[in-house]
Structure 1
C-alpha cells in the first residue's frame, strides 16, 4: 500500500499502484468525505474514474499518463481495475463506480447547498440530464449546462463560462481521448473544486441509454451489458483481454 500525498485540502489517500497508476483504496463513503473536504478547500481537484481501457491508454500516451499522475484522486471505476488490484495482492475496498459517485456527490450537495455545472454530451442529452438531476436534487443549484461539442477555438469561451459560474462540482462527459487530458490541462483555470469525468453518465441520466441491471453490476459484468447494447464498442473492448494478459504476466514475474 502507498499514500498519495496531497496538499490541496484532502490529505493523504491510501492507494494501490496498477502499472504506475495510483488508484484510491477508499470505499464510496470515504471517497465522498474526501471530496467534501475538496469542495471546502476551494482548490481544483481532478477525479478520474479509472477503468482498464483508461489505464492502457495511459501506458501508450504520455498525455494520458500525465493526466493520471497529476490527478488529485483516481477511483477504481472498472471491475477490471478492482480485479487487477486483487491480483497484485493490494486490493481496493470496493468498486467506486463513477456513475454512483456522481449521484453520491449530488446527495452530499443536497445537504451542504453545493452548486454543479454539467459539460458534455449532445445538447438535448445534457439539457435533459440537467433537468432530471435538478428535480432529483433540488437543493443542488445547477449553475451551468453546455454540450461537449467544442474544439480548441471555443476553449476560452467554455472555460470562462465555467469560471463565472464558480461551481463546486463540474461533471465533464466527453469522448475518452479528450476528457481527462482536457480537464488536466485546464483544471486550474476552471474555478471548480471537484472536476470529474463522467463518460456516458449523462446518456443514462437523460434516459437515452440504460445502465446494466444491478445483478450484472455485482457480477462485474457491466462491461458485457454495454457491449451487448452497443456492439460498436467491440474494438475498444478488445483492450480488456490485453489488460488481463498484462496483469497476469506482471503477477507471474513479480513486477
Structure 2
C-alpha cells in the first residue's frame, strides 16, 4: 500500500487522518532523528464517534487534537468506503512503537497515569528497554501542579497519559497550554497491558477484528457501550457517517 496522503476525512463529524501503516504513523510523529512533531493524538473508534455525535463538547475536544487516527475497525472500513485507503492503528501499538523510537533516538519521555504499581512497573520496563523516562507520575496524584512542574523541568518530547477517555484528553488539553513542546498521546489501559497487569484480546481475536467481542465476554457490563457499535454500523451502511 502506498503511503496515504496527510489529508483528513470526516467520520461522523470527527476528522480522521489516514495512514498506510503503523510505521507511517510513527514517521509522521517523529519525521526525523532530531525532531518530534508537537501535538496531541487521539485514537478514534466507533464508540468514540457515537459519543461525540451526542456530545458537542466532546466532539470539540476530539477535533481540537492535532492527530486523530483510526483505531477501530469500523472507522477503518468507513474511511475505505469513502475511497480512502488506510490501515488500522491500535493506540497501544502506536504507543509502544513510539517508546521504542524514544529508546532508539534517546527522546526524553514522561509517562502519566494508571495505578501507582502499574505506573512504576511501566517505567521500569521502559527504562530496561532503553527508553529515557524522565518522570513517571501515577494517575492518583491530586495536585496537577506536580505534572506541570515535571514537564517544565524535564522538557520531554513524548508524553503519554493513561486515565481513560475523556479524562485523559481533558488533562492533555490543559497540560499543552503550559507545555506545548511535546507530542501527547492518551493511552487508556495500555500501561496495564504492557506490564501484564491487564490483558489485551488474544491474537486470534485481534486478527479477526473481534477485540470488541472479547472485551464484551470478559466484561458483560460493557453491553451498553457495545450497543453503540450497532448504531455506528447502521450509519455506516446507510452512508450517513
Output one character per residue of 1:66-106: Cα deviation in whole Å (capped at 9) or x when no partner: 2222211111111121122233x233421011111111112
Which SS does the other structure have where 1:37 is aligned?
A: coil
Change (3 A) 1:35 1:235: same
Instruction: Mark the CA change 1:53 to 1:205 in structure 2 (over 3 Å): closer, same or farther.
Output: same
Quote how far apart the aligned CAs of 1:143 are. Answer: 0.7
Show the counterpart of 1:243.
Answer: 232
Query: Which of 229, 241, 250 is equivalent to 2:218?
Result: 229
Q: Residue 219 in 1 paired to residue 205 in 2? A: no
Number of residue pairs the alignment of both structures matches: 236
Alignment-derived partner of residue 57 in structure 1: 51
- Offset, 1:192: 4.6
Which residue of structure 2 aligns with residue 73 of structure 1? 67
Q: Which residue of 2 aligns with 1:116?
A: 109
Distance (Å, rounded) in 2 between the aligned partners of 1:71 and 1:183:
9
Any residues of structure 2 matched to 1:170-249 within 5 Å, and which?
170-249=159-238
Render the CA deviation track for 1:1-32: whole Å, top value 9, x for unaligned. xxxxxxxxxxx822222022111111211111
> How far did residue 239 of structure 1 move?
1.6
* 1:144 maps to which of 130, 135, 151: 135
TM-score with structure 1 setting the length: 0.84
List runs of 5+ in structure 1 lacking aligned partners. 1-11
- Provide the residue aligned with 1:8 in structure 2: none
Q: Is the 1:166–1:191 Cα contact (8 Å) retained in structure 2?
A: no
Say if 2:85 is the partner of 1:96: no
TM superposition outliers: structure 1 runs of 4+ over 6 Å: none
TM-score with structure 2 length normalisation?
0.88
2:149 is matched with which residue?
A: 160
- Note closer, same or farther for the CA distance 1:219–1:63 as it changes in structure 2 (3 Å cut): same
The alpha-carbon deviation at position 176 of structure 1 amounts to 1.5
Q: What's the offset of the Cα at 1:43?
A: 6.2
Deviations 1:101-140 (A, max 9, x none): 11111222222111211111111111112212222x21x2
Q: Higher mean Cα deviation, 96-105 or 176-185?
A: 176-185
